[in-house]
Amino acid sequence: MARKLTMVPLLVIACLAGCSSSKRAHVAPVDEARAKDTHIMAMERLRSENLPALQSVELWDNPYGPGLKLTTDHYCILTTLLEPLLLRTLPGYVESAYWGYNDQLPQPIETVAKFDIYLFAQRDEWERFTHAFAGNQATVFCKIKTGAYYLNGACVVYDIGRKRTLSAIGHEGWHQFNSRHFKYRLPSWLDEGIAMLFETCAYENGMYSFDAARNYQRLGTLSETLVNGKQMLLKELIATSPGEVLATDENETVLAFYSQSYALVRFLREADRGKRATRYHRLLWDGLLGEWPLDQEASRTAEDRNLSRTIQWNRIVGPQLFERYVGSDFDRLEQEYSLFCRRIVGGMAFVRADEADASKVTQ
């Protein structure tokens, strides 16, 4: 089977130097009792650092491994991953993401109960938790090769490297946020498109800002889609669901759906100096309040999260909402959207890189 590929911008590639194997230092075996106390040491260190977003940290008693419970204003993070830099990063990161999710709305909202995030150090811990947590859906989730999922109000993640782990949390965190607060679920292109806005971030004084224009993975696949002439028409894109494209088993179609959904959300927010941003915010606000002009059956599916978001529901509701809130002149919109896609990848060159080597590339 071919290995998964990641898109990397040529102009930012820098290889990390490998360690010399000619002289290997002797590593003494770690004392077992000391290893068991690693989570206690991590807790004490976090308590002493006065991190801006961290409210409290305590031990997490669980059957998967030594763990910690970190709480912030809006999140409860339960983790067996004790890597010091990531532990220091997480509180500010999730709080920054929370306010980034709010920025998609015309006015902020406030949550009452904290959001739960489970973060595991090892995949086998993640799988054991998933079998206990996800019930008859566990088999499906355990087919995920890398990353995370959202289910029953919680994000469930395992470590795939600091940068990619944060990306997964940012992405799934949007699904978590809108599933709790929005009366109506979103059509797939909109839900996935917004989630991809939170896959890249920059550090700022203990907190983080999210910059969709630096999501080189999505830009790379968008560029490839355009170069190969595999782009989906706008009418097709807004009526499509992830399950539908995954069922085709055609990688190019999957890449086109995700990269073009990412670009479409950016188009609505940014194109022509943000002239459609007000409509975009209204679309989301009405979804939050349950005020979309849907018929009874479509409204019931939109509101009841226990019902599947079917292919047919996406095919009906996606275009209907787009025409209502964005516009119905698809010839003009198609042209403007296509030009926007080409503009945001213009001036960048991309190279395919084996995902196994992605950690050797820095931005």
From the list 48, 73, 46, 74, the residue with the least C-alpha distance to 60 is: 46
Residue 204 is predicted with a pLDDT of 83
**What are the two backbone dihedrals, phi and then psi, of residue 231, each rounded to the nearest 5 degrees?**
-65, 145
From the list 251, 254, 89, the residue with the least C-alpha distance to 159 is: 89
Sign of CA dihedral 324, 326, 327, 331: negative
- Measured CA to CA, the distance from residue 211 to residue 197 in angstroms comes to 7
Per this entry, what is the length of the chain? 363
248: tokens are: 């085709």
267: tokens are: 């188009």
Residue 356 is predicted with a pLDDT of 40
The alpha carbon of residue 112 and the mean position of all alpha carbons in its chain are separated, in whole angstroms, by 22
Taking a C-beta distance cutoff of 8 angstroms, is the pair 195, 218 a contact?
no
3-state secondary structure (DSSP) of residue 21: coil
104: tokens are: 């998609």
- For 109, other C-beta atoms within 10 Å of its C-beta total 12
- Measured CA to CA, the distance from residue 161 to residue 55 in angstroms comes to 25
Residue 8 is predicted with a pLDDT of 44
| pTM attached to this predicted model | 0.86
Taking a C-beta distance cutoff of 8 angstroms, is the pair 125, 85 a contact?
no
Q: Which position has the token pair 């940012």?
A: 170
Report the chain (363 residues): mean pLDDT per 10 consecutive residues.
43 33 41 67 94 96 97 98 96 98 96 97 98 94 90 97 96 98 97 98 90 96 96 97 84 94 99 97 98 95 85 94 98 98 88 47 30
3-state secondary structure (DSSP) of residue 111: coil
Residue 353 is predicted with a pLDDT of 56
Amino acid letter for position 183: K
Residue 360 is predicted with a pLDDT of 32
Helices marked H in 49-152:
84-102, 123-133, 138-141
- DSSP state, 81? -
Pairing relationship of beta strands 350-354 and 207-210 according to DSSP bridges: unpaired
Residues 6+ apart with CB under 8 A from 58: 43, 68, 69
3-state secondary structure (DSSP) of residue 51: coil
